[in-house]
Amino acid sequence: MEREDTLRRLKSIEGHVRGVSRMIEKDAYCIDVIRQVQAVQAALSKVSTKILNDHLHSCVITAIRGDDLDDRERVLKEISEVYEMASKV
Amino acid sequence: MEREDTLRRLKSIEGHVRGVSRMIEKDAYCIDVIRQVQAVQAALSKVSTKILNDHLHSCVITAIRGDDLDDRERVLKEISEVYEMASKV
Amino acid sequence: MEREDTLRRLKSIEGHVRGVSRMIEKDAYCIDVIRQVQAVQAALSKVSTKILNDHLHSCVITAIRGDDLDDRERVLKEISEVYEMASKV
Amino acid sequence: MEREDTLRRLKSIEGHVRGVSRMIEKDAYCIDVIRQVQAVQAALSKVSTKILNDHLHSCVITAIRGDDLDDRERVLKEISEVYEMASKV
């Protein structure tokens, strides 16, 4: 269900990107195009937050409650990494 | 030419988004999916910088060298606005 | 006046950063600290948008209305560069 | 030790902000000022990633390995929230 919602959002984002291409083909005003590109980026941020949330409630709980310390360390490190990257993109 | 390059990049971004959907359908590891979403966002930042650059070299020069003070004010305000938005998405 | 306002904001940001240090010294909850760090970043985005806006209304107008093509190219390139960087930080 | 390192970074960021004020007082070139503001923001992103990392390795492990389901849900929700915010600032 979560997955279906994410796929639906990605489908809509794909259409949004195609819409940006059409705007450029029709010589739309640059600033309007940039605003649409920024809207796509914001929509992607929501998708990525949703995926992270699912991940926290599944793999992360399993790894942290499990006994494999390397695995636990790995999932925590990955969260820090995507967080750091999120601050940049 | 600039325009062709931008359209090509958007086409590739569209394919990249479709690739993210396929990863989810195939139950790819969440963190790998998030990294691809962030890569799409970075690619969109490049597209939007390119479009801004074209805009600066065309409309902005025309408006600033022109005599319509309202028009000049408008283009400058738009640049501040997309810059502010860029700091947020 | 614009300048005074910017200096006042920076003074307040400096105090905000000091406040974050104090939170850490008093063992405040990590998530609360992170939220304050993010608030400082948002305040800095506002300052940088304001400075860009002043720049557009002074140096950029002068350079674009002037006859030195290299100078004009330089100011436009700088705007693209800080815009690109803004999308990343 | 981690804490000392974070406090040291914040001290340096505070000095960096003060340096930006001085640049403005001395009428430094706007673009150079903006670049320094962006550098401060990047330094804050590093601090906030470090704090999140410490948090993951302490409170988050404790909450997830503990039996209080509300508490566990709370810490996971907080991570999603700061991640979402990080994508915006």
pLDDT digits (tens, 9 = 90+) for D19-48: 999 999 999 999 999 999 999 999 999 999
Considering CB atoms only, which of B35, B44, B86 is closest to A40? B44
The alpha-carbon gap from A72 to the nearest alpha carbon of chain B, in Å, equals 14
Which tokens sit at B54? 């074209």
- Per-residue pLDDT, averaged over B47-56, amounts to 97
Domains and CATH numbers, chain D: 2-86 (1.20.58.1000)
Contact A87 C87 (CB under 8 A): no
CA–CA gap between residue D63 and residue A6 (Å, rounded): 28
For A81, the closest chain D residue by CA position comes to D49
The pLDDT confidence band at residue C66, using thresholds 50, 70 and 90, is very high
Residue D89 pLDDT greater than 80, yes or no: no
All residues of chain C having their beta carbon less than 8 Å from the beta carbon of residue D30 are 51-52, 54-55, 58-59
- Per-residue pLDDT, averaged over B51-75, amounts to 96
CA–CA gap between residue D69 and residue D60 (Å, rounded): 12
pLDDT at B88: 81
pLDDT at D88: 81
- Give me the helix-helix angle, A69-86 and B30-55, nearest 10°: 10
CA–CA gap between residue A47 and residue A89 (Å, rounded): 14
pLDDT at D73: 96
Contact D89 B89 (CB under 8 A): no
pLDDT at D1: 66
Contact criterion met (CB below 8 Å) for B47 and B13:
yes
The pLDDT confidence band at residue A35, using thresholds 50, 70 and 90, is very high
Considering CB atoms only, which of D18, D34, D47 is closest to C82? D34
The alpha-carbon gap from D79 to the nearest alpha carbon of chain A, in Å, equals 8
- Per-residue pLDDT, averaged over B13-41, amounts to 97
Which tokens sit at A66? 């499990």
D27 contacts: CB under 8 Å, gap ≥ 6: none
ipTM exceeds 0.90, yes or no:
yes
Which tokens sit at A84? 């750091």
Residue A1 pLDDT greater than 70, yes or no: no
For C38, the closest chain A residue by CA position comes to A87
Contact criterion met (CB below 8 Å) for A31 and B80:
no
Which tokens sit at D86? 């990080």
